[in-house]
Structure 1
């Protein structure tokens, strides 16, 4: 599974993107389950939370992207975003 997260907005407005490839990872089943749960709570249209909050676009395996924003992130969305941004390329 290839998960891409793009973060935009925030105080500086500088976008950041990262991609995490789960193939060969021992924690891949956990990440796949986390992604399914996180994506289920996203929307197909861009979502805007609070001023200076971050907005996220998530795409899995090249499918149509979904969107979510702070402060309405679910725990699974927050965990997935943090994982991809921290460990992805």
Structure 2
């Protein structure tokens, strides 16, 4: 599974992209469960949160993109976003 996260907004307004491939990872089942949760909890339309907050676009295997914003992130969204942005390329 390939998961891509794009973060934009924030105080500086910059964009950060990262992608994570779960193939061969021992934690892949956990990541897949997070991805399924995020796909079901996000919205398909771009939304905007609070001024200065981040907006995230999450794409799983190129099957469509869901959007979420701070501070309304679920725990699953927060965990998946953090994982991809810290360990992805």
Same fold (TM over 0.5): yes
Q: Post-superposition shift, 1:64?
A: 1.4
Q: 2:57 maps to which residue? A: 57
Number of residue pairs matched?
89
TM-score for both structures, normalised by structure 1: 0.98
Distance in 2 (CA, whole Å) between partners of 1:66 and 1:27 is: 23
Unmatched segments (≥5 aa) in structure 1: none
**Would you say the 8 A contact 1:39–1:77 is kept in 2?**
no
Q: 1:2 maps to which residue? A: 2
Residue 37 of structure 2 aligns to a residue whose secondary structure is helix
Q: 1:79 maps to which residue? A: 79
Distance in 2 (CA, whole Å) between partners of 1:39 and 1:60 is: 8
Residue 50 of structure 1 aligns to a residue whose secondary structure is coil
TM-score for both structures, normalised by structure 2: 0.98
Q: 1:26 maps to which residue? A: 26
Which deviates more from structure 2 when the two are superposed, residues 46-55 or residues 34-43?
Answer: 34-43
Unmatched segments (≥5 aa) in structure 2: none
Q: 2:37 maps to which residue? A: 37
